Amino acid sequence: MINAQFILTEKAAKQVALLLEKEQNKDAQIKLLRIGIRGGGCSGLSYFMEFTAAQEPKDVLFKQHGVDFIIDPKSMLYLQGTELDYLTSIRESGFQFRNPKQKKSCGCGESFSV
């Protein structure tokens, strides 16, 4: 069952699984994807994704489409209701956050504000 607090699309999950496998070949302790928000960028906040070996006690654990990922409580305030997708086109491919709380983003698309 998908948790509506944060949605990882099937396409994004497949891409995360591929990347996770590559990371685990380098470091067998890597187990999870961490998704979060950091201060910075032109618009004030930026998304980040990184692989990690451990979950912190207050992290929220999600399991969607066979992928385990975590979000810290502070980031969850900004990410609630967000969908993470993976898009491919002739011009580019990559992860895309669709955040209903986002009010504006910078021209390069790397940062946002709520």
Instruction: Output the six-digit token pair for 85.
Output: 């997708």
The answer to whether the CB of 112 falls within 8 A of the CB of 106 is yes
pTM of the full structure: 0.86
Q: What is the CATH number of the domain that holds 70?
A: 2.60.300.12
Does the residue 29 lie in any domain? yes
- Report pLDDT digits (tens) over 29-44: 989 999 999 887 666 7
Per the CB < 8 A criterion, the answer to whether 52 and 30 are in contact is yes
Q: What is the pLDDT of residues 1-10, one digit of tens each?
A: 345 699 999 9
Please write the tens of the pLDDT for every residue from 56-93. Answer: 999 999 999 999 999 999 999 999 999 999 999 888 88
Among candidates 91, 90, 82, 88, which has minimal Cα distance to 112?
Answer: 82
Query: Running DSSP on this structure, what letter comes out for residue 53?
Result: S
Q: How confident is the model at residue 103 (pLDDT cuts 50, 70, 90)?
A: confident
Q: Is residue 112 part of a domain?
A: no
Give the chain's count of helices (H) and strands (E).
Answer: 2, 9
- How many independent structural domains does the chain possess? 1
From the list 7, 6, 3, 19, the residue with the least C-alpha distance to 94 is 19
24 occurs within a structural domain: yes
Specify if 113 maps to a domain.
Answer: no
Whether residue 114 is contained in a domain is answered as: no
Residue 15 inside a domain? The answer is yes
- Structural domain boundaries, residue 87: 6-104
Q: Answer yes or no: is 44 within a domain.
A: yes
Q: Considering the domain boundaries, does residue 79 fall inside one?
A: yes
